[in-house]
Chains A and B, each alone.
Chain A
Amino acid sequence: MDIDLILRVYPFFLKAALVTIQLSVLTVALGLLCGSLGAAARLSRSWGLRLIGATYVSVIRGTPALIQLFILYFGGPQIGIQLDAFEAGVIGLGVNIGAYMTETIRGAIVAVDKGQTEAARTLGLSRSETMRKVILPQAARLMIRPLGVNINAQIKGTALVAAISVVELTYTAQRYIGSTYKPFEMFLLAGAIYMVIIHVTGLGVSWLDRRARIT
């Protein structure tokens, strides 16, 4: 193990980690937005919206995220979409994780007991009032853990943008492997940083989950 090398290069890894964190935050935020819209579409009364929601989920989950990213970044200019690599990474991966989050959010909403809807409707609440005041507050608690799983996957998933040369953790590790021929050390360094990001996020998710359970 080449400790000297690790000590020499770790500042570059930390800088790259900031990009990974930025990517994670932005893609998760966009994913939550897409997931909420997707779930709303999939649970809509309009068959047109349901079809759109189902197609979104099926196409995105049926094809590799890497290809989706390539279509957006390399193919985008052909249809008038000019994005730099970071923007393409955020949009491509955000829309991708959004399809998985659509299913998570939908699952949590469907999992709320049917009696809750009946009770609210019996009191005279409309469909949307029932959803807002009765179902969503309960579904929100149910979805914290599974969304945490999605977020955990997405943090690791940000590594894909290395393939379009965004200088984040995995790209940095790859470059240093190429220049130093020390794959093991570079893996451990980048891996340790990923572990810290993932475990800190995991603690946050558990904290939210516990808090939601108490009330």
Chain B
Amino acid sequence: MTEKPFIDIRHAAKSYGALEVLKDISLQVQKGQIVAIIGPSGSGKSTLLRAINDLDPLTSGEVWLEDMLVNKPLSPRQYERHINQMRQQIGMVFQHFNLFPHLTVRGNITLAPKMLKKLSDAEANALAERQLAHVGMLDRIDYYPSQLSGGQKQRVAIARALAMEPKVMLFDEVTSALDPELVEEVNLAMKKLAEEHMTMIIVTHEMGFAQDVCDRVLFMDQGVVVEEGPPEVIFRAPKHERTRNFLRKHLQGNAQ
């Protein structure tokens, strides 16, 4: 290793009672790297992603962001302060958008910067406009989420996460709930982000997107990383039978 990893997951394990969802997973991501995690449902890929900002706490193992331990063992009160600090640096976008329905697009984006970074209204508005322009949604700034299409909602969700100026972005199957014709606009927004060298970890079912955009692909199954490597190796010449089976089913499915 030439460089110190930007994100360092060490021996991550998680179980619900007897059910092991993650089995001793270690993963290093360099600054600016874009990593795709693929695998069948129930493979633990979302759980791993949600462990990075401690939304689903690990049973054991450590998650480091630069030189900070994200899931630091602290008293509940200290932990609350610590994790809120950490999460401000880790952006996340969800499958079901989770926009706040009672706030406009503007309100969704400015809420956290105003509360946590103490931005003034003017500063927060400027920030919102900049981020919305970035995802091509500036003309919808005063709409409510219910007035937007799924693709538009997801672009706003990306802008909302970016407004906190995070060091890394996590994407949890962000196009799975979208109608097929709306997937592309969200993919475009993510590609743009990739070109700006944002560090990204992407759980996805879009094999084409993973192939085009990502530096590395991880294939997970039954709580372990079965295989990982550059996309051309994983998609063209996978070593493991399980990876081959999964890809065969999936690429067929996509071709239809």
A residues apposed to B, CB below 8 Å: 113, 115-116, 118-127, 129, 133-134, 137-138, 141, 215
Can you identify 28 A-B contacts, CB atoms within 8 angstroms?
Answer: A113-B98, A115-B94, A116-B98, A116-B100, A119-B92, A119-B98, A121-B84, A121-B87, A122-B53, A122-B90, A122-B92, A122-B161, A123-B87, A123-B88, A123-B111, A123-B112, A123-B116, A123-B164, A124-B86, A124-B87, A124-B112, A124-B116, A125-B112, A125-B116, A133-B111, A134-B100, A138-B100, A138-B101
Contacts A115-B96, A118-B94 known; A123 to B102 CB distance under 8 Å?
A: no
B102 and A215 within 8 A (CB): yes
A123 x B160 contact (CB < 8 A): yes
> Across the interface, which residues of A come within 8 angstroms of B160, CB to CB?
123
The residue on A at minimum CB distance from B80 is: A126
Across the A-B interface, the 6 shortest Cβ-Cβ residue pairs = A124-B88, A119-B98, A115-B98, A123-B112, A122-B92, A124-B87
**B115 is an interface residue with CB less than 8 A from chain A:** yes
Instruction: Decide if the interface of chain A is mainly helix, strand, loop or mixed.
Output: helix
CB-based nearest A residue for B163: A123
Shortest CB–CB separation between residue B96 and chain A, in angstroms?
Answer: 6
B147 to chain A, nearest CB (A): 12
- Number of contacting residues on B, CB 8 A? 28
Let me know if B94 and A119 touch, CB within 8 A: yes
A126 and B84 in contact (CB under 8 A), knowing A115-B94, A119-B94, A133-B111? yes
Give the chain B neighbours of A138 by CB distance below 8 A. 100-102
B35-69 contacts to A, CB under 8 A, are 53, 55
Contact in complex: A125, B96 (CB < 8 Å): no
Contact residues in A for B111 (Cβ distance below 8 Å) = 123, 125, 133-134
Q: Is the CB of B84 within 8 A of A125?
A: yes
Residue B85 at the A interface, CB < 8 A?
yes
Q: Is the CB of B98 within 8 A of A118?
A: yes
Taking a contact as CB atoms under 8 Å apart, the answer to whether A121 and B55 are in contact is: yes
Q: How far is the CB of A114 from chain B (nearest CB, A)?
A: 9
Q: Which residues of A contact B85 (CB under 8 A)?
A: 124
Segment 83-127 of B: residues with Cβ below 8 Å from A: 84-88, 90-92, 94, 96, 98-102, 111-112, 115-116
Contacts of A123 in B (CB 8 A): 87-88, 111-112, 116, 160-161, 164
B117 nearest CB neighbor, chain A only: A124
In whole Å, how far is B252's beta carbon from the nearest beta carbon of chain A?
31
Which residues of A lie under 8 Å from residue B115 when comparing CB positions? Answer: 125, 129, 133
Q: Which of B84, B96, B100, B157 contacts A124 (CB 8 A)?
A: B84
